[in-house]
Amino acid sequence: MTVEHEGMAVDAGAGDLPGPLVDVDWLSGRLERPGTVVLDASVGAHRSAARRIPGARRFDIDGAMSDHAVPLPHTMPRAARFAEEMRALGVDGTDTVVVYDTAGIYSGPRAWWMIRAMGFDRVAVLDGGLPAWESAGLPVEDLAPGGADRAGDFTARPRPGALVGSDAVVRALADPHTAVLDARSRERFAGTAAEPRAGLRGGHMPGAANLPFGAVQRDGRMLPAEELRAVFGESAGGRERLVVSCGSGVTACVLALGAELAGYGEVSVYDGSWSEWGLPSELPVVTGA
């Protein structure tokens, strides 16, 4: 697990990207351009859809894009391994990458954050994912996302602070300038609903605030920037630095995307999230809203 202590400064987009989020019209107009790479980052049951945006390749968060030497789900691989997998997907350093998932806005932001964490800025999330693409009447292929026909030259340049460990979260909880936001449901945050993974304690980190990842969306798309600023302002209490967490580091990245759209400049994702913090340990847990 990558452990750093300073938040990643986030930028507005790169190249011809309008920002970290693009809509289906933007992508459809550029889909066949050389240098445009589309990655399907669906996870779990959402991977079962045997259809894709034409030419999409599989960004396998459950498999190759996780460090299986670590006994936690969805742990970021080491930089060399990540670069190897991105090259296998045919991604070049000059490409523009758009990531999506078949649920809408769920795991696509995790792929976006991972790629950004490796120093690559020309990446954006497709707002609304595959459901928005299909609702717009745009073409799909009746094929599961696959690989690439050639290797790319992607280079990983890890950004300190993009992904942090529990020691950094402990410090963040004691820092009056940092807000720790938990993207899990209100019931899981309060400890009134059982955790989906066996052996985890229920509840939340003392001092964390609950911001369920669905609260930054409407109808499967991200809220406008003005509304996001209001949502994050209420949850973060005016604090300018954010550490975001969830169950296993996936939907925390939905909050990371929302925070960037809202204008936050220092955001870190707790990679282990509740899959690590909730294990029996000395890390403190409290219950209740």
- Spell out the per-residue pLDDT of the chain, length 289, in tens: 333 334 554 443 345 899 999 999 999 999 999 999 999 999 987 786 789 999 999 999 999 999 999 999 999 999 999 999 999 999 999 999 999 999 999 999 999 999 999 999 999 999 999 999 999 999 999 988 988 999 999 999 999 999 999 999 999 999 999 999 999 999 999 999 999 999 999 999 999 999 999 999 999 999 999 999 999 999 999 999 999 999 999 999 999 999 999 999 999 999 999 999 999 999 999 999 8
pLDDT at 9: 43
pLDDT at position 51 = 92
Angle between helices 225-236 and 252-262 (to 10 degrees): 110
Domains of the chain as residue ranges with CATH: 11-135 (3.40.250.10), 163-277 (3.40.250.10)
Instruction: Give the C-alpha separation, 201 to 277, whole Å.
Output: 9
Indicate the pTM of the whole model: 0.94
Which tokens is 27 given?
A: 């992508």
- DSSP string computed for 241-285: EEEEE-SSSSTHHHHHHHHHHHT-SEEEEESSHHHHHTSSSSS--
How many other CB atoms are found less than 10 A from the CB of residue 77? 21
- What's the pLDDT at 48? 67
pLDDT digits (tens, 9 = 90+) for 18-54: 999 999 999 999 999 999 999 999 998 778 678 999 9
pLDDT at 13: 36
Query: What pLDDT does residue 261 have?
Result: 98
Q: How many CB atoms lie within 10 A of CB 259?
A: 26
- The residue annotated as part of the active site, out of 105, 130, 246, 257, is 246
Q: How far apart are CA 52 and CA 186, in angstroms?
A: 33
Q: How far apart are the first and last CA of the chain?
A: 30
pLDDT reported for residue 144 = 87
253 is catalytic: no
Q: Alpha carbon of 51 to those of 57, 106, 133, 142, 244: distances in Å?
A: 11, 17, 12, 4, 32
What are 179-214's pLDDT values in tens digits?
Answer: 999 999 999 999 999 999 999 999 999 999 999 999
